[in-house]
Structure 1
């Protein structure tokens, strides 16, 4: 395996598993920091702000800075503000999405008469919220969703993800949203722009084939699959487009880099 000049790194299943540490994760980041290799954490989680992500990483013994975090909320806000500066938005989602949208100068409204309907993971979702979102899309608002993850791993098991909530509005209106998060190129291109390197010099590290590995494949970036999360080595071997590399864990990646 070649030594890449920078890494894009998934969080859940790669850096930690819910509230559990993953052996090799902190060591890998320590290796990158020691060798001054740039890296960004790329997450579909739209509920958390970069500072909150950093707190979680530090709880896992992983050194991180807010400017090393790229969330689907940040990529969504940037996407909308570039296309329609100052646009009005009706959103479902948490504080991470709300703050990202307002910090980009977008106007949040509580009715359906808006330029955009944006759906992020909302753990306090109600029928009324979904009704306003549906009416907004039917009125002609552009429909955006932070990511298409249909389920998310929690301590209780796999719970409905943002893609599941989004699907209610999609089914009701017949309108497909623009998805921002992995495996879509929008969030990956934002992260690559921040790094400012040729994409041949960057690798995407993650555990889940359908989001993490496909996100790298979709933007022509080499991929490093780790078998510490959802997708197993056996499942990887069945894929028609395999990752560039697959390893048991990040300790094995460090050993490869030290060769």
Structure 2
């Protein structure tokens, strides 16, 4: 694949599974650094700060710095700050979202916000739902970091940000602006952090429904790696479901390195 301005690389399922590195992930990132190919780690995870994401990667032996990480929280905060720099924001979320909104210069409030921004929130309560849905009905703009309905956990799966967002939407009657994959906002923002246009970027990921769909919507080229959710057995089903096709498909990260020439 030629004329790559930069790579936008998914994390879970692409470089690791939970706390276990996928074989070749460390070699891939080291080779990209050596070759001088720009890249950004791009994740729907809204709870972690870039520093904690980078630390998680380094703990598995993958070179990473905070400024190489773009989260859905960063993209959500930037979306609001660009649309309304003086906005007040009520946050339903965790450390990553709180830090991102604060650093974007937004004013965090507990009542009558201009925006309700919501991510994964493991302290979410009925009162949270009641307040957030009331604010949205009263005119606050509803921004959802990412639409993931479920997340992997040690004992199976747990509700994700999308499940909480679905409750607020049901109670308010108003759908959110969705920032994370499969929508284009996160990918477009990550490309901007590399100083490139989406058409110059290549999205690398394992998930047809999120990574590849988001890349296509943003106008990027895409590479599907069969290291996680999508496999040869379910690829055709996902293609029919999403209506998209990746530009390239790699069996593993070693094949990806060969395709990139690193």
- TM class, shorter-length: over 0.9
For 1:142 and 1:87, the matched residues in 2 are separated by 10
1:244 maps to which of 239, 244, 247: 247
**Pairs within 5 Å for 1:162-241:** 162-238=161-237, 239=239, 240-241=243-244
**Pairs within 5 Å for 1:38-77:** 38-77=38-77
Whether 2:146 is the aligned partner of 1:110: answer: no
Give the match's secondary structure for 2:216.
helix
Residue by residue over 1:124-150, the C-alpha shift from the partner in whole angstroms, topping out at 9 and shown as x without a partner, is 111111111111111111111001111
Change beyond 3 A, Cα 1:172–1:258: same
For 2:171 and 2:163, the matched residues in 1 are separated by 13
Give the match's secondary structure for 1:225.
strand
Residue by residue over 1:70-121, the C-alpha shift from the partner in whole angstroms, topping out at 9 and shown as x without a partner, is 111111111111111121111110011001111122121223x111111110
For 1:190 and 1:115, the matched residues in 2 are separated by 22
* Aligned-residue RMSD, C-alpha: 1.5
For 2:189 and 2:202, the matched residues in 1 are separated by 15
Q: Does the CA contact (< 8 Å) of 1:18 and 1:155 recur in 2?
A: no
Q: Unpaired segments of 5 or more residues in structure 1?
A: none
2:86 is matched with 86
Q: Unpaired segments of 5 or more residues in structure 2?
A: none
Change beyond 3 A, Cα 1:80–1:157: same
Given the two structures, how large is their TM-score scaled by the length of structure 2? 0.94
Q: Does the CA contact (< 8 Å) of 2:212 and 2:244 recur in 1?
A: no
**How many residue pairs are counted as aligned between the two chains?**
258
For 1:28 and 1:117, the matched residues in 2 are separated by 38
Q: Does the CA contact (< 8 Å) of 1:87 and 1:107 recur in 2?
A: yes
